Amino acid sequence: MTDSQSTPSDTNPSGQRYGAGIWHFATYVDRYATDGYGDPRTIIDAIDIAGTVTDLSVVDLNWPFFGGDFSNEQVKEALDRNNLGVIGITPEMYTRTFAKGAFTNPDPGIREEAHQLITRAADVVRYFGADYVKLWPGQDGWDYPFQVDHGALWKNSLDGVGRLASENPDLKFVIEYKPREPRVHMSFDSVSRTLLGIEKIGLPNVGILLDFGHALFGGESPADSAQLAIDYGRLFGMDVNDNLRNWDDDMVAGTVHPIELFEFFYTLKKNHWEGVWQLDQFPFREDSVKAADSAIEFLKAVQRGLDKLDIPALVEAQEKHDAIGAMSLVQKALFSSY
Ligand SMILES: [Fe+2]
Ligand SMILES: [Fe+2]
């Protein structure tokens, strides 16, 4: 298990470990700039760039590795020279083959292909000693009314995850829910639906990776989503970023919703949840190293703010549902900590 703490240093006195999805350091295309927002990079290039972020300890790696035919050993060598560990492996179960779904594809052969792909990704998790296989079923869902049999689709989602989890009891599988995109409506769309599914699967090694931005995008309060996932014993990982709430913009953490981000981390602290604080950002037009450094600087301010927060006074304010009293404590702690 990846430790939540590393050795404290001058730049990182608390020793909290920070992570990022390796795609943070790639370049992107979208449906308009089909020529991309930068020259293509290989996963090795991206790891070498990630290595220049001041306090990054771990990365989540897409698999198969992008930009070339790289072996685990080659990737490990790049990680080692940059002092980076691996927290998770994200099998690419959302690419063209899986346009109509991975777990829920109407073609049983493609469903089996998804299963085999993720099974191979499980071995990559073992190779790197990572914490989990990250399932992001971005194409599993539907677009139009009457397109699917909802009962059958949900059953396939749960059977797909359940089969992997039961065949690999030594590993954790985390489901990262999100309301939509690329599928117009994703099956695992919210914290509550994902928890219902996980409870139905009934295995100890399936949990949630809570993406702060996906919760915002879905109209949730991320702190409440975190509390619910923790109460069910299923909060296995997290990502932070920010957005304007009506899309998964994956902007720099803390830039738009600093108070809700602070409440999210307060909730983790209150529940003694310990783990890597991970970035899932897509700096389309920004320098990716500056975007990561800036987010981590803000996360350190969040941490100092949590140390400063008058928790007994906050608890007292919350007992009365005193919004203004609570907010004045929170604003004082956070805004004086940057
Ligand atoms: Fe994410
Ligand atoms: Fe996202």
The whole domain housing 36 covers: 18-287
> How far apart are the CA of 213 and the centre of ligand 2, in A?
7
> How far apart are the CA of 208 and the centre of ligand 1, in A?
11
| Closest listed ligand to the CA of 179 | 2
C-beta of residue 138 within 8 angstroms of C-beta of residue 94? yes
Q: Which residues contact 263 (CB under 8 A, 6 or more apart)?
A: 221, 222, 223, 330
Is 321 within the bounds of a domain? no
Please report, for the domain that includes residue 198, its CATH number.
3.20.20.150
> How far apart are the CA of 239 and the centre of ligand 1, in A?
5
**DSSP type of residue 156:** H
CA distance 118 to 247: 27
| Closest listed ligand to the CA of 175 | 1
Structural domain count of the chain: 1
Could you tell me the CA-to-CA distances from 225 to 94, 126, 192, 250, 272 in Å, in that order?
25, 29, 8, 18, 16
> How far apart are the CA of 322 and the centre of ligand 1, in A?
33
> How far apart are the CA of 236 and the centre of ligand 2, in A?
17
C-beta of residue 66 within 8 angstroms of C-beta of residue 94? no
The amino acid at residue 201 is I
| Closest listed ligand to the CA of 217 | 2
pTM of the model: 0.97
Is 164 within the bounds of a domain? yes
Q: What are the structure tokens assigned to 134, written together?
A: 């990250």
Is 324 within the bounds of a domain? no
**pLDDT string in tens for the chain (338-residue length):** 578 888 899 999 999 999 999 999 999 999 999 999 999 999 999 999 999 999 999 999 999 999 999 999 999 999 999 999 999 999 999 999 999 999 999 999 999 999 999 999 999 999 999 999 999 999 999 999 999 999 999 999 999 999 999 999 999 999 999 999 999 999 999 999 999 999 999 999 999 999 999 999 999 999 999 999 999 999 999 999 999 999 999 999 999 999 999 999 999 999 999 999 999 999 999 999 999 999 999 999 999 999 999 999 999 999 999 999 999 999 999 999 99
The amino acid at residue 68 is G
3-state percent helix, strand, coil for the chain, nearest multiple of 5: 45, 15, 40
Is 4 within the bounds of a domain? no
> How far apart are the CA of 249 and the centre of ligand 2, in A?
8
CA distance 170 to 165: 9
> How far apart are the CA of 248 and the centre of ligand 2, in A?
6
Is 200 within the bounds of a domain? yes
What length does the chain have? 338
